[in-house]
Amino acid sequence: MTDIPQIPTPAVHSLDQPRTVLFLAYPHMGLLDLTGAQTVFWAASKAQAAKGLPGYRVVTASLEGGLVATAEGLEVGTEPLLPWLSEPFDTLVVPGAPEIIRTLPDHGELVAFLRLAAARARRTASVCSGTFLLAAAGLLDGRRAATHWAMCDALSQRFPAIEVDAESIFVQQEQVWTSAGVSAGIDLALALVEADCGREVAMTVARELVVFLKRPGGQAQFSELLKAQGEDSAAFDALHLWLGEHLGEAHLSVEHLAQQACMSLRNFTRVYKQKTGRTPAKAIELFRLEAARRLLENSAQHIEQIARQCGFGNEERMRLAFQRHLAVTPRDYRARFARSVPLAEIQGSLA
């Protein structure tokens, strides 16, 4: 085992030098977890260079250095990690691994290095299940954190001191950032670039990589209908399809869902919560929220009209639902994601 030195004093970044982003590599990490975020920083460096400004220096380091095999089989060249505990760097990024839940006990030395390296970094981030390594290092105690949706329960059970956010694309808690599954590392990296270099550079990167700029951290990881179909809820598949067609009914209630499912209200409420993990009332709100998101992205309808069409009744109720689940307003969501934003709505959002 490598001798672990005492923690050095964190270095101060010079504004006229590239920011060093240190990626912590280890066997069987996810390839896209690593390279997706790295590509964002590479593209940001090109955008900064075009303006005569410093960008990023991306470094991949592992415990021993040398070639490290990813989960997909491709080997990645790495530097030894030990020298970086005395060299200056700005940001530490930890990719995830598909088998991290099973292999976490094998990463004791890696976690020890991570704890020291994070103390030297201005900020620390994880991609996908890399959150488990941050958690094992004690960096997430008392904080809210994201990870791949399929691993949220395991993260919560193994590290009860963490407030696990099963919905968000990424989460920032002070100097610690965590993100959801795999490609969400791109969203996270774009957010870090925007924080460092401004929105214009982040937009340039997003256009070059042909990705959204940027899915807000609070955006749901995937559609509610897809999520419902992937759970132990096959008995309610027909109900969910019916629900999607009747969201605009102002008086849609849990009683209506129970009748449609041919169940008593009491039994329906109990079984639905058991099978889907949420109450029927919460399901109605989330399905309405998703329908509103699609209309905001793809239609030119006014927000008040969308609120009524999706069953919220009025814009204020829809706004509260968006704030509660996505941490953005409907106007802000439309400004970020609409394919064609009506001029009136743009003016309204700036009012």
Q: SS3 string of 19-36?
A: EEEEEECCCCCCHHHHHH
pTM for the predicted model, two decimal places: 0.65
Query: With left for phi above 0 and alpha for psi between -120 and 50, is residue 301 left, alpha or beta?
Result: beta
Residue 123 lies in a domain: yes
Point out the domain boundary residue: 141, 175, 209: 209
pLDDT of residue 293: 87
If asked whether residues 96 and 243 sit together in one domain, one would say no
The predicted-structure confidence for 183-239, as pLDDT tens digits, reads as follows: 888 989 999 999 999 988 988 888 788 665 445 444 454 445 445 544 455 578 888
Q: Taking Cα atoms as reference points, which of 90, 91, 184, 108 lies closest to residue 145?
A: 184
More confident residue, 152 or 8: 152
Q: Do 154 and 299 fall within a single domain?
A: no
Specify the DSSP element, H or E, that contains 208.
Answer: helix 199-209
pLDDT, average across residues 158-185: 89
CB contact at 8 A, 280 and 268? yes
Q: Are 174 and 122 in contact (CB under 8 A)?
A: no
* Single residue among 209, 232, 252 that ends a domain in this structure: 209
CA 291, 293, 294: angle at the middle one, nearest 5?
65
Please name every residue paired with 144 in a beta bridge, in sequence order, or none if there are none.
163
Band (251; pLDDT cuts 50, 70, 90): confident
d(CA 223, CA 130): 23
The reply to whether 267 and 312 lie within a common domain is yes
pLDDT tens across 265-309, in order?
999 999 998 888 889 999 899 889 988 988 887 788 999 999 999
pLDDT, the chain, mean: 85
**DSSP element (H, E) containing 75:** strand 75-80
The SS3 assignment for 41 reads: helix
**Token duo for residue 289:** 């929220």
What domain range is 272 assigned to? 224-350
- What pLDDT score was predicted for residue 13? 52
Q: What CATH number did the domain enclosing 235 receive?
A: 1.10.10.60
Helix (H, G, I), strand (E, B) or coil at 101: helix
Indicate if 182 and 251 belong to the same structural domain: no
DSSP letter at 333 equals H
Domain count, the chain: 2
Q: H helices then E strands: how many in the chain?
A: 16, 10
